[in-house]
Amino acid sequence: MTGSEGSADKGIHPAKETPAEMIPYGRHWIDEDDIASVVEVLRSPFLTTGPVVDRFERAFADYVGSPHAVAVSNGTAALHAAAFALELGPGDEVIVPPLTFAATANAIVYQGAEPVFADIDPRTLLLDPAASEERINDKTRAMITVDYAGLPSRYDDLTVQARTYGLTLIADACHALGAVSGGRRVGSIADLNTFSFHPVKHMTTGEGGMITTGDKELAERMRRFRNHGVTVDYKKRSRTNTHAYDMKELGYNYRLTDIQAALGISQLAKLPLFLQRRQQIARIYDEAFADDPAIIPRFVPGEVEHACHLYVLQLNLERLDVDRDMIFGELREEGLGVNVHYKPVYLHDWYRHNLGTKPGLCPVAERAYNRMITLPLYPRMTDDQVQRVIDTVKRVIRRHERETVAERNAYGTAAKGW
């Protein structure tokens, strides 16, 4: 028994050492090439929605293997544009997994439609096709699947389900840029695929998003939507020497700038390097935690390539004497910028108060949420930082493992008899 363990038994906590610099759960990687690309645009005639946006869209579409890509201002705008393009509205329902950021479901609400939450698979934490099928009725118009943490969804099963019931399949692929399923890159599989370029994602444009699709008409509708619903943008007006335009639909200003697009093109070129390092770190974590009885290891099917946006471990709470939040707090105190992804969307106050959702709706997602912690994972993590994460997680968990507590109690009883 170490001295710190003995002190903990008596309820005495030694003075905490000043922790090392916090290791965040995610961080962008910007280099001189990225900066030079942005500076070049700053010196050009166009700053927003010019020729560089067009080049970024083409490069991105080519990378994922999709005919069309539409750049927008952020990942939420991408989801909203997809919902708008499908003309979702009041009376329509869309199936959504609960383990996602609220924007996935919010985009449906923006259109006046209703998100219907279907539970997840306990191993993969992805939308369970059996659960989604139970939610389908004559109001269902679409399904959104989330490639949680970077693991591709069960696209084969969901595609068959969507076709069987005449639904549109939307992929919230914001975690999965670079992932592969069935030999195809995520972004080329679902009817509409949405991505985010937030700084913690695989590549960044500061803020930004993209939708890919094989449907030219949907792509054109989303282009109008991002530009206020206007039929002819200023580039087309300039080419035809006309001032005339019309607003056929009520759209939004969801445009991406040329400044951001230039950064995106530069970042996209480095994406293979970013993915390789993410996958390497994830494998190191897998090996380190594989045999720990207090940790439920992540599950990755052999037929897919994981994009490793997040590394989410689950705690085996039956082996611990504290809950997830206590472990979370102690890890933060020791300098790990851990996070939790995510509170089930329907448990947020807005959904409970406005849609009447309540606990128990998706029990598998709720159980996972109460056990999960997201560890730091980003390409510029050093090997020393990765090892520090592993050592800290193991040290904190060992403090609270039930077998260790029993041994300490036995030691304390024996000590009283001296």
CA angle, 350 then 122 then 317, to 5°: 85
- CA nearest 368: which of 48, 121, 112? 121
Catalytic, out of 10, 16, 139, 201: 201
Query: What burial class does residue 44 get, using C-beta atoms within 10 Å of its C-beta: 0-12 exposed, 13-18 middle, 19+ buried?
Result: middle
Distance CA 2, CA 373 (A): 27
What's phi and psi for 6, nearest 5 deg? Answer: -65, -40
What single string gives the DSSP state of each residue in 248-265?
-S---B-PPBHHHHHHHH
CA-to-CA separations, 57 to 75, 186, 317, 397, in angstroms, rounded? 15, 16, 45, 45
Residue 267: what residue type? Answer: Q
Query: What burial class does residue 76 get, using C-beta atoms within 10 Å of its C-beta: 0-12 exposed, 13-18 middle, 19+ buried?
Result: buried
The number of helices, as runs of H, and strands, as runs of E, in the chain is: 15, 15
Distance CA 39, CA 369 (A): 43
Residue 201 designated active-site: yes
Show the beta-strand stretches assigned E in 247-307. 295-296, 304-305
Distance CA 182, CA 226 (A): 32
Alpha helices in 66-171 (DSSP H): 75-85, 103-110, 129-135, 155-165
Under 8 Å between Cβ of 120 and 144? no
- Using DSSP's 3-state secondary structure scheme, residue 348 falls into coil
Alpha helices in 339-401 (DSSP H): 349-354, 363-369, 383-399
Distance CA 148, CA 307 (A): 10
Distance CA 368, CA 370 (A): 5
- CA nearest 222: which of 114, 71, 89? 71
Catalytic residues, by residue number, are 201
